[in-house]
């Protein structure tokens, strides 16, 4: 029981908060949609349901991914989160289809919504809550990637570094951009419908929200498909690790360096060339020293180092090493 609680505590914070927040939003939006008959409120409610289900799944997946390797699964459970995110993508796609379908029905047969102030207040609350979750996700991206940003620079910095963040954090970030924009679209639509009798905007906003959901499904699906296959670490991570290796006084060159990204964790495999004349014991000590330095980084989950004697030929070139990994 204690071990289970420890795993839960290691679960992705952003997805847990988002799941709880969207559950509450889905309930109040659903009630408002049933009372008022607003199409955009229905679309927004559907999106909140999809987000709540997805982020709940993702939180569970992030907890399972923290399990330690076993004899049967020696490489651990890190890619479980990618599988869970793929399930989330299917849920979002289904919800997006239903939302777009509802939008086209409203275009053909516009419906006048009632209880304007109820819709307005609920959607204003949704913008605030979804916006708060979005800010939390952006800060989580900064924390996970070691980047620094604040204020207005937080959003572009989050976009820039999202690819290096954990899959659940990326999912929350992209979904809540859509959720916040969707709530804003819905708010604009009900205001125009009420004050200008522009009922067709209800259907247009509903279709836009559905299309945004499709965009999120595609982006998250692609990122997690790549994660399941296995993807090379970003260039700056490779350069950081190579600098640490080459800074050791016994290292003369890197023969090969391969870094696999799995979620926000990195698996490092390298063949390093040490100075000539070292004994096997001395070379082993150098290897252990470099290994210890690399594993100080909490995002590096394991390091495999092979040692060679310096051949006098400078080989290390990050771009060439990626293009010719077998050399």
Tens-digit pLDDT profile for residues 55-76:
787 788 777 777 777 778 776 6
**Residues 309-323: pLDDT tens digits?**
888 888 776 544 444
pLDDT for position 11 = 66
Quick one: which of 15, 17, 29 has its CA closest to 125? 29
The pLDDT, as a whole number, for residue 10 is 64
R_g over Cα of the chain: 25
- Taking CA 257 as the corner, what is the angle to CA 251 and CA 260, rounded to the nearest 5 degrees? 140
In the structure encoding, which two tokens stand for residue 90, read together?
């299917």
Q: Residue written as tokens 């419908």?
A: 193
Q: For position 4, what pLDDT does the model report?
A: 62
Q: By mean pLDDT, which of 9-13, 254-258, 282-286 is the weakest?
A: 9-13
Res 305: pLDDT:
92
Per-residue burial over 8-38, b if 16 or more Cβ lie within 10 Å, else e, is: eeebbbbbbbbbebbbebbebbbebbeebbb
The answer on pLDDT for 222 being more than 90 is no
Question: Has residue 324 got a pLDDT over 50?
Answer: no
Q: What is the average pLDDT score of the chain? A: 80
3 or 236, greater pLDDT: 236
Q: What pLDDT score was predicted for residue 319?
A: 46
231 contact partners, CB below 8 Å, separation of at least 6: 260, 261
pLDDT band at 288 (very low <50, low <70, confident <90, very high): very high
Distance (Å) of CA 100 to CA 17, 132, 191, 197? 27, 26, 21, 22
**Average pLDDT, integer, range 127-156:** 84
- Pick from 113, 122, 118: nearest CA to 39: 113
User: Does 326 score more than 50 pLDDT?
Assistant: no
Which is more confidently placed, 275 or 262?
A: 275
pTM as predicted = 0.65
> pLDDT tier at 325 (50, 70, 90 boundaries)?
very low
C-alpha dist (Å) from residue 306 to 142, 237, 273, 282: 33, 20, 9, 14
Alpha-carbon distance of 34 to 30, in angstroms, equals 6
* Of the listed ranges 6-10, 136-140, 260-264, the one predicted with least confidence: 6-10
Question: pLDDT by residue (tens digit) across 75-114?
Answer: 667 777 778 778 878 888 888 888 888 888 888 877 666 7
């Amino acid at each position: 029981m204690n071990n289970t609680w420890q795993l839960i505590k290691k679960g992705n914070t952003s997805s847990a908060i988002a799941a709880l927040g969207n559950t509450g939003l889905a309930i109040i939006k659903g009630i408002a949609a049933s009372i008022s008959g607003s199409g955009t409120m229905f679309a927004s409610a559907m999106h909140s349901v999809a987000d709540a289900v997805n982020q709940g799944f993702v939180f569970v997946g992030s907890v399972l991914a923290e399990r330690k390797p076993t004899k049967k699964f020696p490489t651990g459970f890190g890619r479980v989160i990618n599988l869970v995110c793929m399930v989330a993508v299917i849920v979002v796609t289904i919800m997006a289809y239903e939302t777009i379908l509802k939008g086209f029905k409203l275009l053909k047969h516009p419906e006048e919504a009632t209880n304007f102030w109820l819709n307005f207040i609920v959607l204003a609350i949704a913008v605030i809550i979804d916006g708060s979750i979005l800010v939390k996700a952006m800060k989580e991206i900064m924390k996970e990637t070691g980047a620094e940003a604040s204020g207005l620079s937080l959003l572009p910095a989050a976009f820039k570094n999202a690819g290096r963040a954990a899959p659940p954090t990326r999912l929350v970030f992209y979904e809540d951009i859509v959720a916040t924009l969707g709530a804003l679209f819905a708010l604009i639509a009900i205001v125009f419908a009420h004050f200008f009798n522009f009922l067709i905007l209800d259907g247009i906003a509903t279709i836009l929200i559905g299309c945004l959901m499709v965009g999120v499904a595609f982006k998250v699906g692609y990122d997690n498909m790549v994660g399941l296959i296995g993807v090379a670490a970003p260039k700056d991570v490779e350069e950081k690790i190579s600098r640490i290796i080459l800074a050791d006084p016994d290292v003369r060159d890197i023969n090969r360096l391969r870094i696999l990204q799995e979620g926000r964790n990195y698996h490092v495999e390298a063949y390093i060339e040490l100075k000539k004349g070292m004994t096997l014991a001395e070379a082993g000590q150098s290897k252990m020293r470099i290994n210890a330095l690399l594993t100080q980084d909490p995002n590096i989950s394991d390091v495999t180092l092979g040692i060679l004697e310096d051949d006098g030929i400078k080989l290390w070139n990050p771009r060439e090493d990626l293009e010719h990994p077998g050399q």
